[in-house]
Structure 1
Amino acid sequence: MSNASLIRFRLLLSLFAALSVVVSSVPAAADDVQQDGSWVIKEGRYVRLVTDLPDSPSLAQWVEAFDAAVPLWAHYWGRNPSEMNDWRVTAYLMVDKTKFVAAGTLPRTLPDFRFGYQAGDRIWVLHQPEDYYNRHLLLHEGAHAITAHLFGGGGPPWFMEGTAEWMSTHNWQPAAAQPTTPLPNVPPLAIGIVPASSAMAQGWGRIELIESARKQNRVLGIESVMKYGDSAHREVEPYAWSWLAATLLDMYPLYREVRREAGSSASDRSPQFNSNFYGKLRTQWPVLSARWHMLAHDIDYGWDPSRQAIELDTSLPPLGEKIAMKLDTSHSWQSAPISLMAGQSVQITADGRFTIRKPWRADEFDIDDLDALLLGGAASAVPASTATDGDQSRRDWYSEADGITIHYYRGQPIGKLVARLLPMKQSGSGPYLRPLEDVAIGRSGMITAKEDSWLLLKVNEPPSGYADNEGELVVELSPAN
């Protein structure tokens, strides 16, 4: 992704923020703890952090990140950040809960919680081993708090927790860690993102939970996620599915607008909230459900919504005669201009070369291994230009439809043409969707539909791999029966 695209992407993501919270009726906590050696207190513009941790630079950075998030949350809801000038949260970050109970800052009447809790303008977070996850939890509960302040609630559990979770999943680059020449206009905090790697979101683990469920054929339909009850989020996995629902709703402009409008009704936790939400998207629901199925199957670190969004048309004609389409190799799944009926087979052939890696991605390859592959006669990996032996990492690399076998993703070479049949009616066993299967096509292959389906095609890449791809494949589709 170019610097300009990265800037636009991060700025867009930075507009999204808090959408959840239940305002609990709890007794007032004692907020007059003093810096007497028992506590460390950090004062920010929008948050007062009280903790029994020893002082460290991380505490100041967590406060800095919280302060950076508030204007973004306000902006997302169409509010001027100046409206939040008089709003402030007290956050208790706890190692020893009993110490806070004794001080009167953790009311005994609060329900038991594993990670964090919010009531009004107070939040409580249990300290975690990971720097990222502590910051994430503070932002998560802060997202609840600002939504309670603006709307009096956060909606039903899937909406409340999913939106707060999504609005607190972030990239953070404090001022002290900024590069010598930072990108212009890029804020230190970006929210509503999919982390680039697990190392950049230590302790979070939502994608791993979804991946585990996927391997066990336990992918929930979005309707099942929307039915979560009040006790569902005592476990961690519902946070992952709720976050994924919020991710889907932000990927497409129409869904995003409905989601933002729903904030004005966030005080409603009754079934009517879901009825109203569904009603606004009723005509879109078959496509929305199919997109959910795809997202749940494919979500991974480095997810780039701009390259992963899928255009689906419910009125495509069935395949009748041979047709050709151009496949953009810089984008993930793309729908063929035809549908396949149950029992119909299609022969797929592909031709063309495209750039699979730019020099700035060369560190992903072992150059010696790549040379060995090329010298051994691998037909699909071709250097884009001649270079001296010492200059190999500065070359672009081409691929053809069979891919480059030096690097694999989900069992197939990167760059290889793959196909997927996406049922036009989503179904499964109970709350779970049926698994989706990918078929490796390469230069030529055939696939048969078991039910009426969209035919989707892409070159195989991890989600973060499409940014430096350039070129097209010409794909021909012919009836095979």
Structure 2
Amino acid sequence: MQMMPSRPDKRENRSLPLTFLVTLVILAIAGCGDSGNGTPTAKSPSPRKNTQAKVEASGKSNLPTVRPGQFEPKAITTSKLPTPKLDERRSLADLANQDDGGDGGAAAKKPIVLTVTPRGKRLPIDDTKAAVAGIRKLIGKHLTLYTDVPPSPEVDELPAAFDAAVPLWCKYFEVDPMNAMDWHMTGFVIQEKARFQGAGMLPDDLPPFINGFQRGRYVWLYGQPTAYYRRHLLLHEGTHAFMDLIVGGLGPPWYAEGMAELLGTHQWQDGELTLAYMPRQKTETPGWGRIKIVKDELAAGNGMMPANILEYGPQAHLRNEPYGWCWALAAFFDSDPRTQKAFRELRKKIRTEDITQWFRQQVQDDWADLSEDWQVFVMNIDYGYDIARSVIVRKTAQAVPASGATATISADRGWQSTGILLTAGTTYRIDATGQYQVAETSEIWWCEPGGVTIHYFQGRPLGLLLGAVRDHSQPLEGMSPLVKPRPIGLGTTLEPEVSGTLYLKINESPAELGDNQGQITVRVQVQ
């Protein structure tokens, strides 16, 4: 983790007033948060001009799978944003009501841009002294690792995993691999602190950290109960180091920690590494727990909207929960077709721009819709969530004529507008027909709008047609009605309490949309 408590070797900006310089003197980069619970291969969908464009693969990132040594492969700005009142517990609906609407509050919030240079003294490492203390040395192309964790394949291959990450970091951040060819880090995986303190490998001027810490060309990690989370932390801190020393900037806390979490979430299988992965099963990433953090926070009434996460200050990540929220936001922005292009442009602007303000300006026209999609995302978040396929499909709606109206809904997408406008107090008859496949298994599961009663999702039959009425005539207040749908099934009578567009989807895990096939035809008539 990168943070900013007190350390005089941190960042400074000579053009700032004296009061800012005093503030900068006490800024620092601190340790990464706790674990919470999954494994990875990533391929994010390509940017699309509209939400109805063809959906590419989900759950995977566009980063290739790379074997160690396949490739042989310039420091930094960060914005200081206001620290949210972390002890003030508010619901997601409360935060949705106070969203600033998309301009980023530029007039009220002027982040400080800090120039960061390599920091910390070179450690006088004595390999003989380390060996006597029971500290082993593992050497890779881009990482020399010292550890007192007993030998095992999962520990001994950490330098190889780090080496495999370098070309992937180069690809994601659009860095010429030649610029990272000679880049080398030194890392420490610590089981007993006293050994490393005695060997001069744990400097006294390091701030306290929970799990991991990066400063200059060094990273420190405490031992973890799972091999996955140990490797995740190494890649998390490695991402910080790569952004710091190679890309040239970390950016504000939401971006710095979001990127470290996004690219730290990985798959390491048979010597091949994939980054930016959406884990499909909890068992893939034991000890990671970012999805659990979001679920637990929501259950406790502590939901976060994107605007609030963008305001995380330098002290926010002294708590574990912001890691879960930053991962979720980075995964959301990196996968949503409306934000992906602008989000990935941030890597080119962290040296010169207030990237939070710039990003908000780029997506301002979509901000209200993005905030609603975020609600649907976090309220249904789970392993394997297909963000691209779950983007809400919106279109202009028309009132139901006397002859009735029809619409077609795809089984492989999330919420979709029918283009049918319902009027409050009017009674409508809705009928649905069609067959569609809801699971790709050894045998095809064909389903109708009434659902499959031998399998349930969220307490309702799998494949059941669900509906909600969304009023687009005024800004959304509180929670979207799409978060609390009602069953439609093969048919129902509906008298909406508010006028709005009829939205439909099938009851299916957002992780399983990709293997669905078929459509539903819906007919709506005024009774």
TM-score (norm 1): 0.79
CA distance in 1, matches of 2:259, 2:424: 38
Match of 2:295 among 200, 203, 211: 211
Partner SS state of residue 344, structure 2: helix
Shift of 1:96: 1.6
* 1:440 correspondence with 2:522: no
* 1:288 correspondence with 2:336: no
Report if the CA contact (8 A) 2:463-2:508 is conserved: yes
* 1:401 correspondence with 2:401: no
CA distance in 1, matches of 2:254, 2:428: 40
| Structure 2 residues without counterparts, runs of 5 or longer | 1-42, 46-55, 66-75, 79-115
Alignment partner, residue 14 of structure 1: 63
Alignment partner, residue 505 of structure 2: 458
Alignment partner, residue 72 of structure 2: none
Partner SS state of residue 308, structure 1: coil
Shift of 1:105: 1.6
Letter in structure 2 aligned against 1:192: A
Shift of 1:27: 3.3
Alignment partner, residue 77 of structure 1: 173
* 1:323 correspondence with 2:390: no
Report if the CA contact (8 A) 1:140-1:165 is conserved: yes
Letter in structure 2 aligned against 1:402: G
Shift of 1:252: 2.8
Deviation string 1:101-137 (CA, Å, 9 cap, x unpaired) is 2222222212211111111221111111011111111
Shift of 1:254: 4.3
Report if the CA contact (8 A) 1:91-1:122 is conserved: yes
Letter in structure 1 aligned against 2:160: E
Alignment partner, residue 153 of structure 2: 57
Deviation string 1:31-80 (CA, Å, 9 cap, x unpaired) is 44346251122111211111110111112332222211111111112122
* 1:257 correspondence with 2:341: yes
| Structure 1 residues without counterparts, runs of 5 or longer | 176-187, 361-394
CA distance in 1, matches of 2:237, 2:141: 17
Report if the CA contact (8 A) 2:61-2:277 is conserved: no
Report if the CA contact (8 A) 1:130-1:203 is conserved: yes
Report if the CA contact (8 A) 2:44-2:61 is conserved: no
Shift of 1:152: 3.2
Alignment partner, residue 310 of structure 2: 226
Shift of 1:342: 6.8
Partner SS state of residue 42, structure 1: strand
Q: 1:303 to 1:309 in 2, by over 3 A?
A: same
Report if the CA contact (8 A) 1:357-1:396 is conserved: yes
Match of 2:245 among 141, 146, 149: 149
CA distance in 2, matches of 1:285, 1:340: 25
Shift of 1:86: 0.8
Larger displacement relative to structure 2 (226-235 or 256-265): 256-265
Deviation string 1:330-360 (CA, Å, 9 cap, x unpaired) is 2233232245577777543211122223333
* 1:359 correspondence with 2:436: no
Partner SS state of residue 36, structure 1: helix
Deviation string 1:126-167 (CA, Å, 9 cap, x unpaired) is 111011111111111111110011343311111111111011
Alignment of 1:30-429 (within 5 A): 30-34=124-128, 36=131, 38-175=134-271, 188-267=272-351, 272-313=354-395, 316-321=396-401, 322-338=404-420, 347-360=429-442, 395-421=443-469, 424=472, 425-428=475-478
CA distance in 2, matches of 1:30, 1:343: 77
Report if the CA contact (8 A) 1:23-1:119 is conserved: no
CA distance in 2, matches of 1:221, 1:346: 34
Report if the CA contact (8 A) 1:49-1:93 is conserved: yes
Higher relative contact order (CA 8 A, sep 6+): 2
Report if the CA contact (8 A) 1:157-1:230 is conserved: yes
TM-score (norm 2): 0.73
Letter in structure 2 aligned against 1:289: S
Aligned residues: 423
Shift of 1:427: 3.6
Q: 1:32 to 1:471 in 2, by over 3 A?
A: same
* 1:29 correspondence with 2:29: no
Shift of 1:434: 9.0
CA distance in 1, matches of 2:44, 2:344: 24
From the two aligned structures, give the one with the greater helix fraction: 1
Letter in structure 2 aligned against 1:275: Q
Q: 1:398 to 1:45 in 2, by over 3 A?
A: same
Report if the CA contact (8 A) 1:13-1:190 is conserved: no
Partner SS state of residue 144, structure 1: helix
Report if the CA contact (8 A) 1:20-1:154 is conserved: yes
Report if the CA contact (8 A) 1:344-1:449 is conserved: yes
Shift of 1:226: 0.8
Letter in structure 2 aligned against 1:169: T
Percent identical: 31
Shift of 1:299: 1.7
Q: 1:342 to 1:130 in 2, by over 3 A?
A: farther
CA distance in 2, matches of 1:77, 1:124: 24
Deviation string 1:357-377 (CA, Å, 9 cap, x unpaired) is 3333xxxxxxxxxxxxxxxxx
Q: 1:161 to 1:15 in 2, by over 3 A?
A: farther
Partner SS state of residue 195, structure 1: coil
- Let me know the Cα RMSD of the aligned residues: 3.1
Partner SS state of residue 30, structure 1: coil
Q: 1:152 to 1:320 in 2, by over 3 A?
A: same
Report if the CA contact (8 A) 1:27-1:107 is conserved: no
